[in-house]
Structure 1
Amino acid sequence: MHYTIKKLTRTDVALAKQLIEAWHTDDGATQVIYPREKYLNKLLTKKSFHAYVAIMGDQVVGGLTAYEMEMFDTEETEMFLFEIGVNKEARQQGIATALIEALKQTCYQQHIAIIFVGTSMDNEAAKKLYAKTGGSLEITPFYTYELK
């Protein structure tokens, strides 16, 4: 089935909500709680935030989000691919690859030379995708602080 990739803008709050619903539903959630429209609109307006969706027919079937990270010690910006996902029914059709390629094009246009993304060591599908799209594996411990 044919799909299109779209970079979301501030007027695409409805598509952003569809992406959130797609991700939560794919994760098995029975109820989706969305951020407020004002919050999503503000986020989609930021130059440093990037969101892409894959659309089949009139449904969002996947997408990614990424954040520009300005470096402190050099005058460079790197891109952090924060989340990527494609609904189970739409996998194995090149959608995740197309989403990453769209992000890479944005990086080329903005002279961003590095994209980095994290995944768990047991996520074989993600590791395969990232290698296929030109990523190289780095073994770097990653710590999380949960501040409550």
Structure 2
Amino acid sequence: MPYSYKRLTSNDVSDLKALLRVFGEAFEEPTTYQGNVPGDDYLRRILDKPDFIVIVALDEGEVVGGLAAYVLEKFEQERKEVYLYDLAVSAEYRRQGIATALINNLKLTAKEISAYIIFVQADKGDEPAIELYKSLGKGEETRNFDINI
């Protein structure tokens, strides 16, 4: 069965909340994604921002996967890049090309806003994500650091 894909707008708060549930389950972090879900007004405001992109995969209207990305305006050149922050697909829908289709939809959106590249990080040991991203682009070894505030 073909799935449908759409970029969320401020009218799609319920779909964003459904995606948060998918993220919580997929990343095994239910508290992070479900423990303190923002209110509808907050979610509408962030969905209205042109530098925040959420694309979901739907199976007969049900959110079964999705991604969240941020548009970064660069300072060294007049250009934009897109940072793919989170991507997940519900367990029973994996290995059906949904993640690739989500990224391909993000590529179309990135082209529409004149971004020159999409970048993404994958955690060491997350082989399915690493293999997916390798199949779509080139990688480099990096280290990430969290700096507490």
Q: Same fold (TM over 0.5)?
A: yes
Distance in 1, Cα, partners of 2:51 & 2:86: 15
Structure 2 segments unaligned to the other structure (5+ residues): none
Match 2:143 to one of 133, 141, 144: 141
Secondary structure at the residue paired with 2:78? coil
Distance in 1, Cα, partners of 2:116 & 2:25: 34
- Matched residues, number: 146
Give the 5 Å matches for 1:80-99.
80-99=83-102
Secondary structure at the residue paired with 1:116? strand
In the superposition, the TM-score normalised over structure 2's length comes to 0.91
In the superposition, the TM-score normalised over structure 1's length comes to 0.92
CA RMSD of aligned residues (A): 1.6
Aligned-pair CA distance for 1:28: 6.2
Match 2:74 to one of 62, 65, 71: 71
Distance in 1, Cα, partners of 2:133 & 2:57: 18
Deviating runs (4+, > 6 A) in structure 1? none
Identity %: 38
Match of 1:17 in 2: 17
Structure 1 segments unaligned to the other structure (5+ residues): none
Give the 5 Å matches for 1:16-35.
16-26=16-26, 27=28, 29=30, 32-33=34-35, 34-35=37-38
- Asked if 1:39 is matched to 2:42, the reply is yes
